[in-house]
Amino acid sequence: MVNALSRTVLAQSAFPQETRNPARNVKRAHSVPCSLFSLAFKPVSCARNSSLNLLPREIIADQHDWRLTMPAVKGDGMRGLAVFISDIRNCKSKEAELKRINKELANIRSKFKGDKTLDGYQKKKYVCKLLFIFLLGHDIDFGHMEAVNLLSSNKYTEKQIGYLFISILVNLNSDLIKLIIQSIKNDIQSRNPIHVNLALQCIANIGSRDMCEAFSQDLPKLLTSGDTVDSVKQSAALCLLRLFRTSCDVIQPNETASRIVHLLNDSHLGVVTAAASLIEALSKKWPEEFKGCVSLAISRLSRIVTSTYTDLQDYTYYFVPAPWLCVKLLRLLQNYPPPEEPANKTRLLECLEGILNRAQDAPKSKKVQHANAKNSVLFEAISLIIHMDSEPNLLVRACNQLGSFLSHRETNLRYLALESMCLLATSEFSHEAVKKHQETIIASLKTERDVSVRQRAIDLLYAMCDRTNAENIVAEMLTYLETADYSIREEMVLKVAILAEKYATDYTWYVDVILKLIRIAGDYVSEEVWYRVIQIVVNREDVQGYASKTVFEALQRPACHENMVKVGGYILGEFGNLIAGDQRSSPQIQFDLLHGKYHLCSVSTRCLLLSTYVKFCNLFPEIKQHIQNVFSSDHNLRNPDAELQQRAVEYLQLSKVASPDVLATILEEMPQFPEKESSLLSKLKKAKPQVEELENQVAEKKSRPAAVMRDLSATTTSKLVDLSDAVHTNGGGIGPGGDAFDIFASNGGETGIVGCNKAEALRLMLKPNGILYEDAIIQIGCKLQTKKNLARLGMFYGNKTNSAFTHFLVNAESPGELADQIVVQAKPVDPDVAAGAQFQQLINLVCLQDFSNQPIAHISFTYTSASGVPLNFNKTIYLPIYINKFFEPTDMAAEQFFSRWKTLSQPAQESQKVFPAKGPIDHESIKTKLLGLGAKVLENVDPNPENFVCAGIIHTQVLQIGTLVRLEPNRQAKMYRLTVRSNRETTAQQLCSLLAEQF
Give 490-541 pLDDT, tens digit per residue.
888 989 999 998 888 888 999 999 999 999 888 888 888 888 889 889 988 8
Question: CB neighbours (10 Å) of residue 683?
Answer: 25
Amino acid 62: pLDDT: 42
Residues 898-925 have a mean pLDDT of 86
Distance CA(248)–CA(837), nearest Å, equals: 46
What is the band of 328 on the pLDDT scale with cuts at 50, 70, 90?
Answer: very high
Amino acid, single-letter form, for residue 853:
N
400-401-406-412 Cα dihedral, nearest 10 degrees: -150
861 within 8 A of 808, measured Cβ to Cβ? yes
DSSP 613-628: HHHHHHH-GGGHHHHH
At 76, the pLDDT band (50, 70, 90 cuts) reads low
Cα–Cα distance for residue pair 422/476, rounded to 1 Å: 18
Q: Output the CATH code of domain 885-997.
A: 3.30.310.10
Given this model, what pLDDT does residue 210 score? 84
pLDDT for 733 equals: 34
Is residue 465 annotated as involved in ligand binding?
no
Dist CA 667 CA 663 (whole Å): 6
Task: Find the mean pLDDT for residues 407-426.
Answer: 91
pLDDT above 70 (res 138): yes
- CB distance 818 to 762 below 8 Å: no
Residue 468 or residue 867, greater confidence: 468
Residue (of 139, 201, 132) closest to 167 by Cα position = 201
For residues 739, 740, 743 and 749, what is the CA-based torsion angle, rounded to 10 degrees? -60
Q: How many CB atoms lie within 10 A of CB 28?
A: 18
Phi/psi region, residue 782 (left: phi>0; alpha: psi -120 to 50; beta: rest), is beta
CA 909 to chain centre: 24
Q: What is the pLDDT of residue 760?
A: 87
Q: What angle (nearest 5°) sits at the alpha carbon of residue 88, between those of residues 82 and 93?
A: 170
How far is the C-alpha of 583 from the C-alpha of 570, rounded, in Å? 21
Under DSSP, the state recorded for 833 is B
List the helix and strand counts (H, then E) for the chain: 43, 16
Identify the band that residue 28 occupies on the pLDDT scale cut at 50, 70 and 90: very low
Q: Is 929 annotated as a binding residue?
A: no
- Is 573 annotated as a binding-site member? no
| Annotated binding residue 111 | yes
Of 72, 20, 75, 7, which is closest to residue 48 (Cα–Cα)?
20
Report pLDDT for 681.
Answer: 62
Q: Which fold has domain 465-679?
A: Leucine-rich Repeat Variant (1.25.10)
DSSP 301: H
Residue 270 in contact with residue 230, Cβ under 8 Å? Answer: yes
User: Mean pLDDT over residues 58-66, rounded?
Assistant: 38
Using CA atoms, how far apart are residues 822 and 852, in angstroms rounded to an integer? 10
Q: Contacts for 55-60 with beta carbons within 8 Å, 24 or more apart?
A: 55/201, 55/204, 55/205, 55/238, 55/239, 55/242, 56/242, 57/11, 58/7, 58/10, 59/204, 59/238, 59/241, 59/242, 59/277, 60/14
Q: Which of 526, 528, 534 is nearest to 551 (CA)?
A: 534
For residues 907 and 905, give the distance between their C-alpha atoms in angstroms, rounded to a whole number.
Answer: 6
Nearest alpha-carbon partner for 818 in 744, 921, 714: 744
* 129 annotated as belonging to a binding site for a ligand: yes
> What is the total residue count of the chain?
999
% of the chain residues with pLDDT over 70: 84
Q: What is the pLDDT of residue 677?
A: 59
With beta carbons less than 8 A apart as the criterion, state whether 771 and 877 touch. no
167-181, 461-475, 783-797: least confident range:
167-181
Query: Which H/E stretch holds residue 810?
Result: strand 806-813
Nearest to 554, CA basis, from 544, 564, 542, 563: 564
Per the CB < 8 A criterion, the answer to whether 839 and 829 are in contact is yes
Q: pLDDT-derived band of residue 240, with 50, 70 and 90 as boundaries?
A: very high
Pair 102, 94: CB distance under 8 Å: no
What is the Rg, in whole angstroms, of the alpha carbon atoms belonging to the chain? 34
Per-residue pLDDT band for 471 (boundaries 50, 70, 90) equals very high
User: Among 241-255, 294-308, 620-634, 635-649, whose mean pLDDT is lowest?
Assistant: 241-255
> Whole-structure pTM over 0.75, yes or no?
no
For the chain, what percent of residues have pLDDT higher than 90?
A: 35
**Distance in angstroms (rounded) separating the CA atoms of residues 737 and 744:** 12
**pLDDT exceeds 60 at position 4:** no
Q: Which of 249, 84, 76 is nearest to 159 (CA)?
A: 76
| Residues linked to residue 915 through DSSP beta bridges, in sequence order | 976
- 687: pLDDT confidence band, cut at 50, 70 and 90? low
Closest CA to 534 of 504, 503, 574, 492: 574
Instruction: Report phi then psi at 119, rounded to 5.
Output: -90, 175
Mean pLDDT of 169-182: 81
For the chain, the average pLDDT equals: 81
Question: Within a 13 Å sphere around the CA of 823, how many CA atoms are in the beta-carbon half?
Answer: 18
Give mean pLDDT, residues 231-252: 89
User: What pLDDT is recorded for position 310?
Assistant: 67
Query: Taking Cα atoms as reference points, which of 243, 350, 275 lies closest to residue 305?
Result: 350
Using CB atoms within 10 Å of the CB of residue 51, give its burial: 0 to 12 exposed, 13 to 18 middle, 19+ buried. middle
**What angle do helix axes 603-619 and 587-598 make, rounded to 10 degrees?**
170
Does 125 show up as a binding residue in the annotation?
Answer: yes
φ/ψ (deg, to 5) at 205: -70, -45
The whole-number pLDDT of residue 719 equals: 30
The lowest-confidence range among 123-137, 488-502, 591-605, 681-695 is 681-695
- Least trusted range by pLDDT, from 245-259, 280-294, 812-826: 245-259
Q: Which residues pair with 770 in a beta bridge?
A: 782
Does residue 343 carry a pLDDT above 80? yes
pLDDT on residue 11 = 34
Q: Exposed, middle or buried, 627 (CB in 10 Å: 0-12/13-18/19+)?
A: buried
- 124 annotated ligand-binding residue: no
- What mean pLDDT do residues 884-896 have? 88
DSSP category for residue 805:
B
Between 276 and 172, the more confident residue is 276
Q: Give the helix ranges, DSSP H, for 599-757.
A: 603-619, 624-631, 634-637, 642-657, 660-666, 680-687, 692-695, 741-751
Does 128 appear as a known binding residue?
yes
Backbone conformation region of residue 143, classed left if phi is above 0, alpha if psi is from -120 to 50, else beta = left
Asked if residue 740 has pLDDT above 60, the reply is no
Domain residue extents for the chain:
465-679, 758-881, 885-997
pLDDT at 63 over 50: no
- pLDDT of residue 751 exceeding 50, the answer is no
How far apart, in Å, are the Cα atoms of 849 and each of 228, 619, 889, 953, 968? 35, 60, 18, 13, 30
Q: Each residue of 536-590: pLDDT tens digit?
A: 899 888 899 999 999 999 999 888 899 999 999 999 999 999 998 888 999 999 9
The whole-angstrom separation of Cα 441 and Cα 439 is 5
CATH 2.60.120.560 fits 758-881, yes or no: no
Q: Which residues contact 338 (CB under 8 A, 6 or more apart)?
A: 345, 348, 388, 390
At residue 761 the predicted structure's pLDDT band, cuts being 50, 70 and 90, is confident
Query: HSE (CB half, 13 Å, CA atoms) of 495?
Result: 31
Q: What is the pLDDT of residue 679?
A: 65
Closest to 669 measured CA to CA, from 773, 521, 570, 800? 570
pLDDT at 645: 93
pLDDT at residue number 684: 63
Asked whether residue 79 is marked as a ligand-binding residue, the answer is yes
Q: How far apart are CA 53 and CA 204, in angstroms?
A: 10
Residue type, 425: A
